[in-house]
Amino acid sequence: MEKYLYVALFAPLVGSLFSLLFTAQKKNVITALVTSGLLLLSFVSSLSLMYAVHSDMIIHVKMMDWISAGNLNLPFGFVVDNVSVVMMVTVTLVSSIVNIYSMGYMMHDKGYNRFFTYISAFVFSMLILVMSDNFIGLFIGWEGVGLCSYLLIGFWYEKDTASWAGNEAFIMNRVADLGMLMGLFLIYWQFGSFEYDVVFAHIGGINPAVVTTIGLLLFIGAMGKSAQFPFHTWLADAMEGPTPVSALIHAATMVTAGVYLIIRASALFSLVPEVGHVIATLGAFVAVFAASMALVNRDLKRIIAYSTLSQLGYMFVAAGLGAYWIALFHLMTHAFFKSLLFLGAGNIMHAMDDELDIKKMGGLFNAMPYTAILMAVASVALCGIYPFAGYFSKDMILAAAFNGGNYYIWAALFIGAGMTAFYSFRLIMMVFFGDKVYKKLGFHPHETYPFVLWTLLPLGILSTIAGFFEHPFEEFTTRLLSKYDFSFSHTTEIGLIFLTLTFVILVVLATIYKYGRGGFSKQIETMPLYILLKNQYFIPKIYETMIFRPYYVLSRFAWKQIDVRIIDFTVDLIAKILYLLGQRSRKMQSGNLSDMLRWMVVGIVVLLALAIFYRPGM
């Protein structure tokens, strides 16, 4: 079985290195083909691994020693178990689809080869992240995906905003990573190892306070990657990258790494429910907070990005409340429909020459029906309407919230669901229906290449039916993860489901109706709330003015004032003083003989005086 593991892991790397050779040359389809092939290969082997794992078999390999110093001995170890294999399958599947999709999307881009290099590199790092059997391995992947996202966000590096967004993403993640590192250090000095098995085996014997600290620190890391508040700004800006990237990295896979970390360390987090509670609360907050920003945004991709944020919020709620398998389930389903949504958006941009403002679209349905349908499916799934995938996962999260007795969390998620429904269909309506604004602006949209559409089909299907695997999935994952059983009666459950569902559907209908009538009137845009949301609660501005600028000013000060004016000046001052003393003492050499003689006599007189008046020990 191990060779499958190695294939799954290293196929993407091979692909990446292969296409790396071509980066210098101009566009060459072979890179795309090869990488796609290898990704598919990786996907296939992941599937077979899944099968293997399903037949109760956990593949655990130690490839080679990496670091060994002092008491630390750190091998490259990989484990394929019920959790990681799910991630592997999801990641490889989505990435293969995205990769193939990009063959069309990047068709005319001069960075064609480079793009596929990066994508495969990303998949490789992501796989390391999920397959590693120890925290450091996870951290390696963690940083690796960070790097790839940095490269891909800034893929069109000639665009200033793009490169800026890249830096922002990388640096913000770094901030969170520091927290995570501290957590890892703490783990090491507690357990003397980074390996999950060792750590979780001894976790019981540790002072709960310490466990809490570890939990919080790890969560900080998770917040960074999963763009939870207050680290959320980078994700919206990350939309500068090519759309497939947004689909793969900033929707389906990388951003969910935070959730994965929590699930991975469930053994740890389940010991400290209060930490879980913090996580859940923050998640719920983000779920609403992000959705609210999506309500008014006009940027096609940003809307979806915010919806991703809020969905991540949902996942964290689940993870925080100890419903780990549910979180994982939602993670998977979300990966399907959210990437589908993004890729659909990609088609639209492709059709509209990279126009993103949904106000400039409308009535695109006849121009690109298939895309429209696919996106509609994805949206429905996102809203969590039966029988689409989203329904099952999301609904359970709400249930879990209610079950835990955290009614305010439940309420938040409930409202979040409503908002989701609204913005999704606002988007659908404004893009595909209503009057054709784009005609006035002189766009000539058209459906993309058929093979691209075909590649989207599997995602479409999955977003539709994935939900029905709920029970096998639960059975499969809870072999490793703790079970989560609902305490409340069946009726309440039905009640809840009914409540949510109706609410969501009502919102959807309302939205369709409203926007069918041409949407809200202009004056709504003058409402303070609207402005607040439009400016993302002014948080980016606050960061700009409160952190970035002051830091630069402070740095200037440190350099110009402290370094040059004070420290270096003092150093030179010493030299200067000596030199001036030299100029003074030079006067003694007047060259005049009588002065010289005087000096001698002065010497005599002084010493004689000393001889008479100062005589210790005589």
Partner 1 sequence: MEHILSLIVFFPLIAGLFGLVVNKENIKTFGIAVALVEFIFSIILWIGFDSTNAGYQFVQYVALIPQFGVSYYLGVDGISLFLVVLSTLMTLISLVGLNIKKDIKNLVITILFLEMTLVGVFLSLDMILFYIFWELSLIPMLYIIGAWGSGQRVYAAIKFFLYTFAGSALMLVGILYLGYQYYLATGTWSFAVPDWYLLVLPFNTQLWLFGAFFLAFAVKVPMFPFHTWLPYAHGQAPTIGSVLLAAVMLKMGTYAFIRFSLPFFPDASVYFLYPVAIVATIMVIYAAMVAYAQKDMKQVIAYSSISHMGIIILGTFAMNAEGLTGSIFLMLSHGIVSGALFMLVGVIYDRRHTKLMSEFGGLATVMPRYAAIFGVLMMAAVGLPLTIGFVGEFLSLLGFYRVSWIITLFAGSGIILGAVYMLTLFRKSFFGKVTNEKNKNLKDLDKREFTALIPLVALVVILGVYPKPILSTIDLSVKKMINLMERKALLPDTKEFLVKVNSIGGTK
Partner 2 sequence: MLDPITVNIASLNLALLTPMAVLAFGALALICIDLFVKDLSKSFFVMFTLLFILLDFTALIGINGPSRGFFDVLLVDGMSTLAQGVILISSALFIITALSNKPFKEFKKAEYYALFMFMIIGFQFMVATDNLVLIFLGLETASLSLYTLIALHNRNKAFEAAIKYFTMGALAAGFFAMASLILYTLTGSIELSVISKVLIARNFAPGAFVLAGVVFMLIALGFKLSIVPTHTWTPDVYEGSSAPLAGYMSVVPKIAGLVVAIRFFDIFLSSQIVWVQNILIFLAVITMTLANITALVQEDVKRMLAFSSIAHAGFVLTAIMVGGTQANSAIFLYWILFMFTNIGAFTMLWIARHKRNLWDTRYQHPFAKFSGMVKVSPMMATIFGIFMFTLAGMPPFSVFWGKLYLISSVVNSGHVVLAVIMVTNSAIAVYYYMKLIVYMFMKDPITEDGNIYEANSSTPIKVIVGITLFFTVTAAVFVQPILSFVTQMIQSSGY
Partner 3 sequence: MITLTHYLVLSGILFSIGIVGVLRRKNLLMLFFSTEILLNAVNIGFAAVSKYYGDLSGQIFSFFIIAIAASEVAVGLGLLVLWYKRSGTIDLDSLQMMKG
Residue 212 as a binder of partner 1 (CB under 8 A): the answer is no
Listed in sequence order, the residues at least 6 apart from 571 whose beta carbon sits closer than 8 Å to its beta carbon are none
Q: Which of partner 3, partner 2, partner 1, none sits in contact with 614, Cβ below 5 to 8 A by type?
A: partner 2
Give 499 or 602: the residue with its C-beta nearer to partner 3: 602
Give 132 or 420: the residue with its C-beta nearer to partner 1: 132
In the numeric block, which tokens belong to residue 344? 């659909």
* Distances from the Cα of 378 to the Cα of 4, 277, 326, 386, angstroms: 32, 30, 20, 12
In the numeric block, which tokens belong to residue 75? 């091998």
- Contacts from 468-475 at CB under 8 Å and sequence distance 24+? 468/387, 468/392, 470/329, 470/392, 470/393, 470/396, 473/86, 473/325, 473/329, 473/332, 474/325, 474/329
Listed in sequence order, the residues at least 6 apart from 477 whose beta carbon sits closer than 8 Å to its beta carbon are 82, 83, 86, 324, 325, 328, 329
* Distances from the Cα of 581 to the Cα of 97, 571, 584, 586, 587, angstroms: 78, 16, 5, 8, 10
In the numeric block, which tokens belong to residue 409? 């969390």
Query: Amino acid identity, residue 400?
Result: A
Interface pick for partner 2 out of 21, 57, 554, 610 (rule CB under 8 A): 610
What is the Cα–Cα distance from 23 to 113, expressed in whole angstroms? 5
Q: Which of partner 2, partner 3, partner 1, none sits in contact with 281, Cβ below 5 to 8 A by type?
A: none
Q: Which stretch binds partner 2 (CB under 8 A): 213-221, 269-277, 282-290, 595-603?
A: 595-603
Q: Which of partner 2, partner 1, partner 3, none sits in contact with 618, Cβ below 5 to 8 A by type?
A: partner 2
Contact 331/489 with Cβ under 8 angstroms? no
Contact 2/62 with Cβ under 8 angstroms? no
In the numeric block, which tokens belong to residue 319? 């993870």
Least CB distance to partner 1 at residue 189 (A)? 4
* Distances from the Cα of 390 to the Cα of 316, 377, 378, 485, angstroms: 16, 11, 9, 20
Query: Amino acid identity, residue 311?
Result: Q
Residue 597 as a binder of partner 3 (CB under 8 A): the answer is yes
In the numeric block, which tokens belong to residue 235? 């994700």
Residue 582 as a binder of partner 3 (CB under 8 A): the answer is no
By rule CB under 8 A, what string of x and - marks binding of each residue 564-603 to partner 1?
Answer: ---xx--x---x----------------------------
Which residue, 427, 423, 403, 411, is CA-closest to 500? 411
* Distances from the Cα of 204 to the Cα of 209, 236, 263, 272, 278, angstroms: 12, 40, 18, 11, 21
Phi and psi torsions of 314, nearest 5°: -55, -45
Residue 14 as a binder of partner 1 (CB under 8 A): the answer is no
Q: How many residues bind partner 3 (CB under 8 A)?
A: 10
Listed in sequence order, the residues at least 6 apart from 534 whose beta carbon sits closer than 8 Å to its beta carbon are 296, 297, 525
Q: How many residues bind partner 2 (CB under 8 A)?
A: 30
Least CB distance to partner 1 at residue 158 (A)? 5
By rule CB under 8 A, what string of x and - marks binding of each residue 521-560 to partner 2?
Answer: ----------------------------------------
DSSP state of 443: -
Residue 606 as a binder of partner 3 (CB under 8 A): the answer is no
Give 531 or 596: the residue with its C-beta nearer to partner 2: 596
Residue 611 as a binder of partner 2 (CB under 8 A): the answer is yes
Give 582 or 617: the residue with its C-beta nearer to partner 3: 582
Work out whether the CA dihedral 201, 204, 205, 208 comes out positive or negative: positive
Residue 167 as a binder of partner 1 (CB under 8 A): the answer is yes
Residue 68 as a binder of partner 3 (CB under 8 A): the answer is no
Residue 593 as a binder of partner 3 (CB under 8 A): the answer is yes
By rule CB under 8 A, what string of x and - marks binding of each residue 570-589 to partner 2?
Answer: --------xx-xxx-xx-xx
Q: Which stretch binds partner 3 (CB under 8 A): 109-117, 504-512, 552-560, 595-603?
A: 595-603
Residue 140 as a binder of partner 1 (CB under 8 A): the answer is yes
In the numeric block, which tokens belong to residue 290? 């992000």
Residue 506 as a binder of partner 1 (CB under 8 A): the answer is no
Residue 617 as a binder of partner 2 (CB under 8 A): the answer is yes
Least CB distance to partner 3 at residue 607 (A)? 14
Interface pick for partner 3 out of 62, 110, 549, 598 (rule CB under 8 A): 598
Residues in the chain: 618
Residue 6 as a binder of partner 1 (CB under 8 A): the answer is no
**CA geometry: angle at 381 spanning 375 and 387, to 5°?**
125
Least CB distance to partner 2 at residue 571 (A)? 14
What is the Cα–Cα distance from 228 to 467, expressed in whole angstroms? 26
By rule CB under 8 A, what string of x and - marks binding of each residue 141-160 to partner 1?
Answer: --xx--x--x---x--xx-x
Q: Which of partner 1, partner 2, partner 3, none sits in contact with 582, Cβ below 5 to 8 A by type?
A: partner 2
* Distances from the Cα of 493 to the Cα of 400, 496, 512, angstroms: 10, 5, 28
DSSP 96-126: HHHHHHHHHHTTT-TTHHHHHHHHHHHHHHH
Give 567 or 581: the residue with its C-beta nearer to partner 2: 581
Least CB distance to partner 3 at residue 615 (A)? 21
By rule CB under 8 A, what string of x and - marks binding of each residue 83-122 to partner 1?
Answer: ----------------------------------------
The residues of the shown chain that bind partner 3, judged by CB under 8 A, are 586, 589-594, 597-598, 601
The residues of the shown chain that bind partner 1, judged by CB under 8 A, are 23-24, 64-72, 136, 139-140, 143-144, 147, 150, 154, 157-158, 160, 163-164, 166-167, 170-171, 174-175, 177-178, 181-182, 185-186, 188-192, 207, 209-210, 213, 551-552, 554-556, 558-560, 562-563, 567-568, 571, 575
The residues of the shown chain that bind partner 2, judged by CB under 8 A, are 578-579, 581-583, 585-586, 588-589, 591, 593, 595-597, 599-604, 607-608, 610-612, 614-618
